[in-house]
Structure 1
């Protein structure tokens, strides 16, 4: 005996007009497509497991920014002021002037000298010959290396060492103010000059830990070692990435449990998980084939790809369960689910992908890499979710337990859906819009104080109590030259950098900067000239000035440090040591320098910004500040255009996009309140939140429009929408939120920040689709007009 529901389904599916071409293409070639997917999965999976961590100094900075262009053009003359490590060796018992400490410092200096990636010509330590002392006596200038030539560790030679240190001008720089520690300064090559290979930050950081910190702290319990610098920070980030595997496991377990609770079907639980993981493997394999690695920022993208796959997979499972509950077999249920979801699903996923790809317009390579990685991942989710997932389920189907759960659960939830459908009623909708308007006003008020850049000292990518930030705090507290250095480059014609007018202009700039909030100290060739001129005049402070006599100037800078003058004498830097690299500090100092440069640059000398880690941060902040609003405009424009092309209604676009806008404003308000600035790590979250958040609105509106075009009233149509897809949308928002909220416990601070922000955006975008969209529909949609247009179009 034939099943009437089965027969009806077969007839429905074999009606040529009812079968989209794409559906016929996929379901008529199921076995062939699955075999092709299996081969592709093996190939890309093999490449995925071979992908390597990738971190590059230059990829984390805006290479096209004028500041960075200036720095790169003069890199050889700036002693790698952008990429270096500083290793502070602390004596816990007494000062550094004892034989045991000095021997340990010598051994560590030798170890650092031979580390791969160190620019040995620029290495500085009390034990290197480029650290010297100079003094003026009755017989003229005297000087030499800080370590006495006859140093033997005796009390006499140690006392001589103490005198040399005091005369070397290195107190506060290489030697701490309290004489309890000394620094080894090691500039780094971005690429090995012999092999051309990029510096392996993970390996370099590991060498610093094992060959320096662990080894010498174990040898001498009275020694503590503190290490700071870009390479160490990136190394610690890469090490922290190892914990991401735990979060991946936790996310998969939680998602699996929630999916089973939702579907009560093993296939409906495991197939979305498996296809989402396959999408991640395809993404990683494709990235490796395209020559990409995983840097500390894009390593989180696979999480998002998995989350996106699950969110759309839930819609497939829900739709199939609803069709199976009507009596259709597995293949028919899969085809009906595909037919109802492939247009909204593709629209949502294309919106996700385009939203991510707008990040390509930001001139920072790590953000562009993240955009490519996310865009690829979403493109693969379109295939794995709308094709692979559906085809597998067409063979397996929803279990009887899953079907019973849908039938029983649907009956039990009717009262709840009736209650929630009142959100679209004439009485409740105005209240919802009023609440939304209040929330928007509060958000706009709070986000006024949102900063671009870092808001904390040290490395904000790491926890405040991390070893790196503790080391950074030690150096700030014990040295007068901080780790945050802004370098102003002064360009002159060749052999003219020591002219009086040049040194005088540099001196005026230093005076202005030393009276600027956030500046700790400064150093330049002008300081050397003034110091030596004073020394030549019996140390009289009245002579602590730049002489107008060029012969005296030439004599005063004859032995100037190499980092303060280049060989052609056409570039000399002004080093500005800052209290921190907070956004406000950088903005204040950079504005002061730019104002000075505009007034004082001329044909004899030009002041250029900027090198040093603080200069790079300033350039990065400027790029992000300029890109943020443009990126948001692009994201919303693309999403709006795609929605308009699909629904052919500006009113529909408003219903979907307005809740997203409210979420973006509230997210920025939360960032302000939580002390999170907009920077490389957090800027992508805004685009990601919009791209993923639009999915909820698209699924809700698609169903709502369908029922309105069947002639239902708005409230009845919304009730049916909630019955058919509301549970899936709510479940998706909660599941995604729970999946990322575990990131809050990550040792990597920017991952914790991203977890908090994405948790809010996932949940609130879901709330906006369920709560605010129907309220907007009450005032914006005209069901009668929509129905009339649909009938007119059908009659044609």
Structure 2
């Protein structure tokens, strides 16, 4: 038996497994390797069971999960949701006549069929559907004989010129232009609220199926509804139900990126090891981790949604990177002549503790997200934490066990050893190590720290312009040229009222909404909101009552105000309830004031919410309360508030957790500073990049920085832990850092490239927020790697030049000699 030439490695070379004392090592090591066959049987059984559970995992979305449900404003909405028809999750289906206007018998017949198909789609709230074909959509007018009204679609409609003329008149009477009928009268809209659960089974709505039903029943059949004229009728659909359906369908395409990421990882690992068996083993164990994660998610009652769908890809990439580290350790030992079983145990001793610490940091990065008061992010935090946690078994334990059986290619092991010797002599990649060594010198360290400080200051100045919420029109989750956003652009251009609705809930005791003083306050709120920049118009019970009151008085304009006559107001409210039931509930205790916004940009939402809060502060009393917020824009405004607060809280918590982990691992505050500062620089630059790319902080991008910090700290843990141990054993800073990069430098680079390669493919996703996450995570992974390799030695020059030495402990004769905290 001999010892390797590397001065920092004292592993005893044992070429025959029979010479190894199986009673050596920690209790956990003995338990795992002395009973490795049993461990493998248990893993196989668990994998089979969890693979079966994974096959039943559902991919769905939820409107309610996107809302910060404990926020007082969202509680207002949820408490009154049943009385707020169409002010949450609604579909807007527009049917266009490409060869004329809506007053065309062929078009009207086609629209009727589409209306009926939509009405019957499972999950639609049928009693609340509105269109010119629904009898609930009515007209009212004052004539010489009194107040008259009826359904907009004449009950005697038969397609004749007379009935179409009557329809044209009724649409004018009902003032539907800009709402249910386009301003150019070439299309008409159907509004269909969507239930949260199916009425017959109580199960949550399957948005994937809803999206497919919309495409199959509405869009795909539109061209066949007018015989001989396939392009005459065209359908446009917007709303959360359709958006969620499109996202789920897009995820099916995204699955191809999983295969691409696996292929890239395989190419990188094989290029590093030139060993087919170990490459296949690392990829297989990482895939087992994904299977376990998906199975456990299903077992615990969770499901995948568009926001958490890419987490398995991330777990796979993390698993590959940790697996590569174990494989690298075993390959180095085998190259020195150590038996594969002994090499596996040596590698387990060297890397398990540091591997658990690194994975714990990853878990912390995910788990911190659970403090955010948005269910979809909490679900992401839980599912991601589960996925990273199982890597302890599948990659830190299973890979060494399997490699103890299979070993690595002898050729690959010799090649690895030769490359290490060349690197030690300054050849090959050793040239890079020589360059990095220079950062431990003052003439390199000082400029590096100064440049980093300038980057941090400049990045921070840019990051001050980082905005909360959406910065563009349409659905930011999808690309601008997606069908959904093209549909949204058409509807916005042709209809006076947008789908961005901000609703204020006016709450009174039963029967209180008909009181004159309440109606007057509602009318004042109407005026206050219409004066806000970005508000197109408003609609409310007061507005309807005013028009009805005027109509009851020969349409005199002097009656276009809320009357002090309570009897007149009572009559107006009763008639308004018949004409616009969505503006008032059955006992006249809840009525919304709806503002139609020009867009849902964060600045617009802030102005409208501020005006609402100011009005409520001056007019709330026992008899009436003005409660924000309902409508898609109202919910988004509240979500922005929570996201803004959570962004700061999340960063503080994730850095606090990382600092505590580093202090426990290093037992040295200076080393902790050296580790954390590169991470902070990356976080600052990431926020500056978001400003440059026009990204706002929202539900989709909020988790990115926490993930980047939690995973990025791995690099520093690898380097600083080895460096510190070597310094404590008497090495100088330059020698210690050189030893650290020689042992773990290649792996750090491989980890950074593998992680980045695993997520960079997301940038091509049809789902824009996933593409954004891919860009940001790629930047953070790569910059964290570069920052760790360059900034750690530079900062160490100022903070870790002298490290207290400790009395060397006797190394057991069969210990894996690389420091126990090394990665």
Sort the TM-score into its range (normalised by shorter chain): over 0.9
Is 1:717 matched up with 2:727?
no
Structure 1 unaligned residues grouped into runs of 5+ = none
Residue of 129, 133, 138 corresponding to 1:127: 133
Is 1:275 matched up with 2:285?
yes
Structure 1 residue 511: deviation in Å? Answer: 1.0
| Aligned residue number for residue 476 of structure 2 | 460
Is 1:514 matched up with 2:530?
yes
Q: Please tell me whether the aligned partners of residues 314 and 758 of structure 2 are also in contact (alpha carbons under 8 angstroms).
A: no
| Aligned residue number for residue 819 of structure 2 | none
Residue of 637, 649, 662 corresponding to 1:618: 637
For residues 27-66 of structure 1, what are the alpha-carbon distances to aligned partners after superposition, in whole Å with 9 as ceiling and x for unaligned? Answer: 2111111111111111111211221113222122111111
Residue of 38, 42, 47 corresponding to 2:48: 42
- What are the within-5 Å matches in structure 2 for residues 527-566 of structure 1? 527-560=543-576, 561-566=580-585
Residue of 190, 193, 201 corresponding to 2:196: 190
Is 1:116 matched up with 2:116?
no
Q: Please tell me whether the aligned partners of residues 322 and 724 of structure 1 are also in contact (alpha carbons under 8 angstroms).
A: no
Q: Distance in 1 between matches of 2:12 and 2:484?
A: 69
For residues 583-639 of structure 1, what are the alpha-carbon distances to aligned partners after superposition, in whole Å with 9 as ceiling and x for unaligned? Answer: 111111101100110011112211000111111111211111111111111111111
Is 1:682 matched up with 2:701?
yes
Q: Please tell me whether the aligned partners of residues 140 and 174 of structure 2 are also in contact (alpha carbons under 8 angstroms).
A: yes
From the superposition, tell whether residues 18 and 436 of structure 1 become closer, same or farther in structure 2 (CA, over 3 Å).
Answer: farther
Is 1:91 matched up with 2:97?
yes
Worse-superposed segment, 609-618 or 325-334: 325-334
Q: Please tell me whether the aligned partners of residues 444 and 665 of structure 1 are also in contact (alpha carbons under 8 angstroms).
A: yes
CA RMSD, 1 decimal: 1.9
| Aligned residue number for residue 377 of structure 1 | 387
| Aligned residue number for residue 156 of structure 1 | 162
From the superposition, tell whether residues 408 and 10 of structure 1 become closer, same or farther in structure 2 (CA, over 3 Å).
Answer: closer
| Aligned residue number for residue 455 of structure 2 | 439
For the residue of structure 1 that corresponds to 2:59, the secondary structure is coil
Structure 1 residue 666: deviation in Å? Answer: 0.8
TM-score by length of 1: 0.97
Structure 1 residue 132: deviation in Å? Answer: 0.7
Structure 1 residue 15: deviation in Å? Answer: 7.6
Residue of 746, 749, 766 corresponding to 2:765: 746
Is 1:328 matched up with 2:332?
no
Q: Distance in 2 between matches of 1:353 and 1:457?
A: 35
Residue of 646, 656, 661 corresponding to 1:637: 656
Q: Distance in 2 between matches of 1:379 and 1:334?
A: 21
Q: Please tell me whether the aligned partners of residues 176 and 478 of structure 1 are also in contact (alpha carbons under 8 angstroms).
A: yes
Q: Distance in 1 between matches of 2:445 and 2:39?
A: 47
Structure 1 residue 269: deviation in Å? Answer: 1.1
Residue of 568, 577, 580 corresponding to 2:587: 568
Q: Please tell me whether the aligned partners of residues 501 and 597 of structure 2 are also in contact (alpha carbons under 8 angstroms).
A: yes
Q: Please tell me whether the aligned partners of residues 323 and 399 of structure 2 are also in contact (alpha carbons under 8 angstroms).
A: yes
Structure 1 residue 499: deviation in Å? Answer: 1.4
Q: Distance in 2 between matches of 1:401 and 1:430?
A: 43
Structure 2 unaligned residues grouped into runs of 5+ = 5-10, 423-427, 813-823
Worse-superposed segment, 673-682 or 212-221: 212-221
Q: Distance in 2 between matches of 1:76 and 1:731?
A: 55
For the residue of structure 2 that corresponds to 1:186, the secondary structure is strand
- What are the within-5 Å matches in structure 2 for residues 308-319 of structure 1? 308-319=318-329
| Aligned residue number for residue 398 of structure 2 | 388
For residues 61-117 of structure 1, what are the alpha-carbon distances to aligned partners after superposition, in whole Å with 9 as ceiling and x for unaligned? Answer: 111111211111111111141111010001111210111111111111111111111
Residue of 659, 680, 699 corresponding to 1:661: 680
Q: Distance in 1 between matches of 2:445 and 2:404?
A: 40
For residues 483-515 of structure 1, what are the alpha-carbon distances to aligned partners after superposition, in whole Å with 9 as ceiling and x for unaligned? Answer: 111110111122121112111111111111111
| Aligned residue number for residue 262 of structure 1 | 272
Structure 1 residue 518: deviation in Å? Answer: 1.2
- What are the within-5 Å matches in structure 2 for residues 667-706 of structure 1? 667-706=686-725
Q: Distance in 1 between matches of 2:87 and 2:195?
A: 11
| Aligned residue number for residue 434 of structure 2 | 418
| Aligned residue number for residue 222 of structure 2 | 216
For the residue of structure 2 that corresponds to 1:242, the secondary structure is helix
Aligned residue pair count: 791
For the residue of structure 1 that corresponds to 2:575, the secondary structure is coil
Is 1:497 matched up with 2:513?
yes
Residue of 219, 234, 244 corresponding to 1:234: 244
| Aligned residue number for residue 199 of structure 1 | 205
| Aligned residue number for residue 55 of structure 1 | 61
Is 1:584 matched up with 2:600?
no
Q: Please tell me whether the aligned partners of residues 136 and 151 of structure 2 are also in contact (alpha carbons under 8 angstroms).
A: yes
Q: Distance in 1 between matches of 2:264 and 2:542?
A: 63
Worse-superposed segment, 3-12 or 643-652: 3-12
Q: Please tell me whether the aligned partners of residues 86 and 582 of structure 2 are also in contact (alpha carbons under 8 angstroms).
A: no
Q: Which has the higher helix share?
A: 1
| Aligned residue number for residue 486 of structure 1 | 502
- What are the within-5 Å matches in structure 2 for residues 342-357 of structure 1? 342-357=352-367
From the superposition, tell whether residues 589 and 62 of structure 1 become closer, same or farther in structure 2 (CA, over 3 Å).
Answer: same
Q: Distance in 2 between matches of 1:737 and 1:680?
A: 22
Residue of 472, 476, 492 corresponding to 1:476: 492
Is 1:450 matched up with 2:484?
no
Worse-superposed segment, 14-23 or 302-311: 14-23
Structure 1 residue 408: deviation in Å? Answer: 3.1
| Aligned residue number for residue 180 of structure 1 | 186
Q: Distance in 1 between matches of 2:269 and 2:517?
A: 74
For residues 734-757 of structure 1, what are the alpha-carbon distances to aligned partners after superposition, in whole Å with 9 as ceiling and x for unaligned? Answer: 122122111111100011000000
Worse-superposed segment, 205-214 or 620-629: 620-629
For the residue of structure 2 that corresponds to 1:607, the secondary structure is strand
Residue of 18, 37, 47 corresponding to 1:31: 37
| Aligned residue number for residue 748 of structure 2 | 729
For the residue of structure 1 that corresponds to 2:591, the secondary structure is strand
Residue of 510, 526, 531 corresponding to 2:542: 526
For residues 318-355 of structure 1, what are the alpha-carbon distances to aligned partners after superposition, in whole Å with 9 as ceiling and x for unaligned? Answer: 22222222221211221221111111111000111122
Q: Please tell me whether the aligned partners of residues 334 and 410 of structure 2 are also in contact (alpha carbons under 8 angstroms).
A: no
Q: Please tell me whether the aligned partners of residues 480 and 521 of structure 1 are also in contact (alpha carbons under 8 angstroms).
A: no
Q: Distance in 1 between matches of 2:715 and 2:24?
A: 26
Q: Please tell me whether the aligned partners of residues 217 and 225 of structure 1 are also in contact (alpha carbons under 8 angstroms).
A: no
| Aligned residue number for residue 291 of structure 1 | 301
